[in-house]
């Protein structure tokens, strides 16, 4: 059965806004029994929410002064949101009735859907059909619910409500959301939204990003995901959200076992972790590798601070933690700032001689809060410093609140430069935590976390700045798309998984790639005719859809200098190859001119099941897999600037430029090949994999010597 695709119309998106910000709610399956979820959710909603709340249950008329109706059709009017707490089959019936009654959106708390097997999956398809038929956004099923602290709305069955704050957390896992909530209460971290997506039958993370990104009460968005349902929608919405505010993502299921578990858990296609990494980089999402790391980043982004450069100062009252901080900053690609003479001279006016005046600035363990504040202010004033990590090891000289106040005072006159604080071992005073949170200074118990946070802030701020640069999309009007499609169509009609070399050459010619002509011959007579058109030396290659690595089975003959050698090589190939691979279907032999080698590079692509084609560039020839000098990019909105970035990421780029005075190679032609490959993959989605290896690059121009194309399916 073909999966239902729900188009996000303007009406549908308006209803998502009502789900997030409902003016009225009905709990379908509301219960008077305290141990039931229907009671817990109703209790949580009425505890703070100021909108109208109704219950739906044919067995009772009132619960906790809330009017309860026998069915959704009996409600005084169609509510904005229905929260459905019924067994799976009854939940589907209730959802349809709610849609028929004009309810605008729904949250299906119930489990028992695709996570339980085939029968549950069929029920989930019914949810999708209702959503499609009625243009109704549905959250879940199998979810915890939703929190909107702007409305004091807690439509979940969790035992506690989150503190109000500026972090939005959208989670695919209800258990992760519940765990994070419990942890956040101890850490005094507050949330604007908490959204449990569950099975993502209808709504997914991409649906919530636009509304939350535009919410003035949210400073940072956190995503916990195990899969992405719609790759192109995710890329678009994530990019747009990242332009407005930071989005931190923790993707689980990156190992083979984890990916299998995630796929089993969600029932979705498992994209490659490389695809996810590239998608996050493309859209400006900050990837966290652990839950802990996600909240390390959350603190710094919730502070609203920005950083303009990568030169960082360190102020510490202890040498060891200062060294650890410096190590971690450099490991993250930041620089330890070189303080100006003016700064050093000013520090010497109030710090003892035994202090360290370099960077890190070590003010010694007996320094009081006044000296700490003065040092922090002085380092921040340095024009060569873009931000500061303030490290403090607890001593008997200063109590915690005074030290916190010193950090706040030190930053006060330089609010445009970020300060990230590390109070070694943690902040053990609630009032001190409140002071730091109120002053928007992120704080951590260990120097590594503080350095990681500042590095994440720099990555996001530099990505934002980069988006202001002009981008040049590749565009061509000289291709013969009809011819290329005919070649693919013929191969698919013959149920083949790949193109023959001569077909690949014809298709590449249709897209105006620099490729050598290839002739297919099936007899000695045809070979002689081909020789008349192609000058020596020649290369011969066996043609079979069943043989991918031709040289391994004696299917390649090189440096053929005359007709006699060509005929002998041809006859030997047709005799020997079938002995080594008797099951292979032999279509003939390709004849191609063998040319003088140039710089060997590799260009290729494979199609990620979630995010589409991934382009690859690197050193070519036999060393591709051995040296792994490869740069990757998503093909999504691929630009000329990205092509150049790919080249610069590899070691072979130095050779292309002319390493140590050697000749340089044609940089523009490599970008052109990448650009035309990008277009080819857009126009012909049936291509699953494509490799150009080697491509010979010369001082002027290039030639694709060998190319392989693997097809994705048999439907054109």
Domain range list for the chain: 1-146, 158-302, 304-466, 471-514+596-716, 517-594
The pLDDT of 438-458, averaged and rounded, is 97
Q: Residue with structure tokens 């003939």?
A: 588
Q: What confidence score (pLDDT) does residue 259 get?
A: 54
Q: What confidence score (pLDDT) does residue 186 get?
A: 87
Is there a shared CATH topology between the 304-466 domain and the 471-514+596-716 domain?
A: no
Q: Cβ contacts of residue 168 below 8 Å, gap of 6+?
A: 191, 192, 193, 194, 195, 212, 215, 218, 220, 221, 222
Closest CA to 331 of 222, 243, 452: 452
pLDDT tens by residue, 492-514: 999 988 998 889 999 999 999 99
Task: Please report which confidence band the pLDDT of residue 1 belongs to, taking 50, 70 and 90 as the band edges.
Answer: very low
Sign of CA dihedral 541, 542, 545, 546: negative
Check pLDDT > 80 for residue 263: no
Structure token digits, residue 34: 């305290």
pLDDT tens by residue, 22-65: 999 999 999 999 999 999 999 999 999 999 999 999 999 999 89
Element containing residue 262 per DSSP (H, E): helix 256-266
The CATH code that applies to domain 471-514+596-716 is 3.30.470.20
* Alpha carbon distance 661, 668 (integer Å): 20
- SS3 string, 521-584, reads ECCHHHHHHHHHHCCCCEEEEEECCCCCCHHHHCCEEEEECCHHHHHHHHHHHHHHHHHHCCCC
Task: Please report which confidence band the pLDDT of residue 6 belongs to, taking 50, 70 and 90 as the band edges.
Answer: confident
Place domain 517-594 in its CATH homologous superfamily. ATP-grasp fold, A domain (3.30.1490.20)
Q: What confidence score (pLDDT) does residue 256 get?
A: 60
pLDDT tens by residue, 92-114: 999 999 999 999 999 999 999 99
Task: Please report which confidence band the pLDDT of residue 676 belongs to, taking 50, 70 and 90 as the band edges.
Answer: very high
Average pLDDT of the residues of the chain: 93
The pLDDT of 204-211, averaged and rounded, is 97
Cβ atoms of residues 451 and 294 within 8 Å:
no
* Alpha carbon distance 189, 77 (integer Å): 38
Check pLDDT > 60 for residue 231: yes
Structure token digits, residue 584: 């292979």
Task: With H, G, I as helix, E, B as strand and everything else as coil, classify residue 28.
Answer: strand
Task: Please report which confidence band the pLDDT of residue 551 belongs to, taking 50, 70 and 90 as the band edges.
Answer: confident
How many C-beta atoms surround the C-beta of residue 425 within 10 A? 11
Q: What confidence score (pLDDT) does residue 257 get?
A: 56
Check pLDDT > 90 for residue 3: no
For domain 304-466, give the fold. Answer: Rossmann fold (3.40.50)
pLDDT tens by residue, 264-305: 433 444 458 999 999 999 999 999 999 999 999 999 999 999
The CATH code that applies to domain 1-146 is 3.40.50.720
Q: What confidence score (pLDDT) does residue 265 get?
A: 37
Q: Report which DSSP code applies to 73.
A: G
Cβ atoms of residues 239 and 636 within 8 Å:
no
The CATH code that applies to domain 158-302 is 3.40.50.261
Q: What confidence score (pLDDT) does residue 235 get?
A: 98
Closest CA to 194 of 161, 226, 219: 161
Q: Report which DSSP code applies to 151.
A: T
pTM, two decimals, is: 0.91
* Alpha carbon distance 553, 309 (integer Å): 56
pLDDT tens by residue, 603-632: 999 999 999 999 999 999 877 777 788 999
Check pLDDT > 80 for residue 489: yes
* Alpha carbon distance 20, 208 (integer Å): 9
């Amino acid at each position: 059965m073909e999966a239902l695709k729900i188009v996000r119309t303007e009406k549908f998106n308006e209803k998502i806004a009502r789900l997030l910000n409902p003016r009225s709610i009905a709990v379908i399956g509301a219960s008077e029994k305290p141990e039931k979820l229907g009671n817990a959710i109703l209790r949580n909603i009425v505890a703070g929410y100021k909108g109208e709340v109704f219950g739906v249950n044919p067995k009772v008329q009132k619960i906790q002064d809330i009017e309860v109706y026998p069915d959704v059709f009996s409600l005084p009017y169609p509510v904005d949101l229905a929260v459905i707490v019924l067994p799976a089959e009854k939940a589907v019936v209730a959802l349809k009735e709610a849609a028929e009654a004009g309810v605008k959106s729904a949250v299906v708390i119930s489990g028992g859907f695709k996570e339980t097997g085939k029968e549950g999956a069929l029920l989930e398809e019914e949810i999708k059909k209702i959503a499609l038929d009625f243009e109704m956004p549905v959250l879940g099923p199998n979810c915890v619910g939703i929190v909107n602290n702007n409305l004091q709305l807690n439509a979940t069955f969790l035992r506690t409500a989150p503190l109000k704050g500026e972090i939005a957390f959208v989670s695919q896992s209800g258990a992760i959301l519940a765990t994070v909530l419990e942890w956040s209460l101890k850490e005094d971290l507050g949330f604007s939204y908490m959204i449990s997506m569950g099975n993502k039958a209808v709504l997914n993370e991409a649906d919530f990003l636009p509304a939350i990104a535009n919410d003035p009460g949210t400073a940072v968005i956190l995503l916990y995901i195990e899969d992405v349902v719609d790759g192109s929608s995710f890329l678009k919405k994530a990019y747009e959200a990242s332009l407005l505010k930071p989005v931190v993502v923790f993707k689980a299921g990156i190992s083979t076992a984890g990916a299998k578990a995630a796929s089993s858990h969600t029932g979705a296609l498992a994209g490659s972790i490389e695809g996810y990494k590239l998608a996050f980089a493309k859209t400006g999402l900050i990837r966290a590798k652990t839950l802990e790391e996600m909240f390390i980043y959350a603190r710094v982004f919730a502070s609203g601070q920005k950083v303009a450069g990568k030169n960082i100062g360190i102020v510490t009252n202890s040498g060891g933690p200062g060294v650890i901080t410096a190590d971690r900053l450099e490991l993250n690609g930041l620089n330890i700032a070189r303080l100006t003479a003016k700064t050093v001279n000013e520090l010497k006016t109030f710090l003892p001689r035994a202090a360290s005046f370099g960077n890190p600035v070590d003010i010694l363990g007996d320094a009081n809060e006044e000296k700490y504040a003065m040092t922090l202010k002085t380092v921040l004033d340095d024009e060569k410093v873009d931000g500061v990590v303030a490290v403090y090891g607890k001593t008997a000289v200063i109590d915690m609140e005074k030290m916190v106040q010193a950090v706040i005072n030190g930053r006060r006159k330089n609010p445009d430069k970020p300060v990230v604080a590390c109070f070694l071992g943690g902040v053990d005073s609630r009032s001190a935590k409140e002071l730091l949170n109120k002053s928007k200074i992120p704080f951590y118990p260990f120097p590594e976390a503080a350095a990681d946070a500042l590095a994440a802030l720099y990555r996001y701020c530099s990505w934002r700045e980069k988006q202001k640069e002009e981008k040049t999309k590749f565009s061509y009007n000289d291709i013969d798309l009809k011819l290329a499609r005919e070649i693919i169509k013929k191969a698919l009609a013959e149920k083949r998984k790949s193109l023959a070399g001569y077909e690949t050459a014809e298709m590449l010619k249709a897209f105006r790639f620099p490729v050598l002509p290839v002739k297919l011959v099936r007899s000695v007579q045809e070979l002689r005719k081909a020789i008349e058109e192609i000058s020596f030396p020649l290369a011969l290659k066996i043609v079979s859809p069943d043989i991918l690595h031709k040289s391994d089975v004696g299917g390649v003959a090189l440096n053929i200098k005359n007709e006699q050698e060509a005929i002998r090589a041809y006859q030997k190939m047709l005799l020997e190859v079938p002995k080594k691979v008797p099951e292979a279907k032999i279509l003939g032999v390709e004849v191609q001119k063998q040319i003088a080698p140039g710089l060997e590079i590799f260009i290729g692509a494979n199609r990620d099941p979630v995010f589409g084609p991934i382009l690859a560039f690197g050193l070519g020839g036999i060393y591709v897999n051995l040296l792994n000098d490869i740069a990757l990019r998503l093909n999504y909105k691929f630009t000329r600037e990205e092509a150049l970035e790919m080249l610069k990421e590899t070691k072979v780029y130095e050779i292309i430029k002319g390493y140590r005075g050697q000749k340089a190679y044609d940089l523009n032609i490599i970008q052109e090949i990448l650009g035309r490959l990008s277009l080819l993959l857009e126009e012909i989605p049936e291509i699953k994999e494509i490799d150009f290896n080697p491509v010979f690059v010369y001082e002027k121009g290039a030639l694709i010597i060998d190319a392989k194309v693997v097809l994705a399916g048999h439907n054109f």
